[in-house]
Structure 1
Amino acid sequence: MQIKNLGNLSLDQISHELDQGGRFVLYHYCISALVITFKRRSDIYYIPPGQSRYIKGFRFAALSLLFGWWGLPWGPIYTVSTLATNFQGGKDVTMEAMYLLRHRNDKMINYDNPDTN
């Protein structure tokens, strides 16, 4: 899973912005084709402090409203569920995303040859 909207922020800058109210959020969406319904998650989005989590989720809510409810029986059920998640500002995955970022940064360090770091 990819983290979007990070730019070139360092891990320290991200931690500071999270203390100021930034969040990592993912959204749900639903797409149906008669009897087949797919409920999926978006990539993780970084929402800086002061920006709305709801505006970013509106796009996924609109996608579900247009293409999600068609499939029976799960289309309407999944559509309502995705709308509920997105209208609450998405799913906050800040702790999980920070773990992934820290783990990714640890892999960049060459522990076998500390002189190259």
Structure 2
Amino acid sequence: MKMLPYPAFVALFGDLGAGKTAFVRGMVKSFDKDAVVTSPTYNIVNKYTSDKKNFYHFDMYRIADEDDLYSVGFYDYLDDAVVVTEWSENITYALPEDVIKVSILKTDVENERNIVVEF
């Protein structure tokens, strides 16, 4: 997080079990070491705040279209924050131009991942 600009939008891509939430957990812990980080699967978004900075963690797995994004207030979260989305494949139409894309890929080795970051 020390190298991540603020504000920022990070879109995570990866299959089920790839480690997207674990990746976010590491990001949030560098932002707020005492935070308890869980997957926002059921409530769509989790908020973490530290030093007057906001970090929003979205799970887009159940988002079907732009109407769903509006109904959860997605666009209201984008200003002055770090926004990280899991299952970004479901919202490619809503990703900002300056998005940081992170693809997490399982390998044949247990607990090993290939991580590709695109700016």
TM over 0.5: no
Structure with higher helix content? 1
Larger radius of gyration: 1
Q: Which has the higher contact order (CA 8 A, sep 6+)?
A: 2
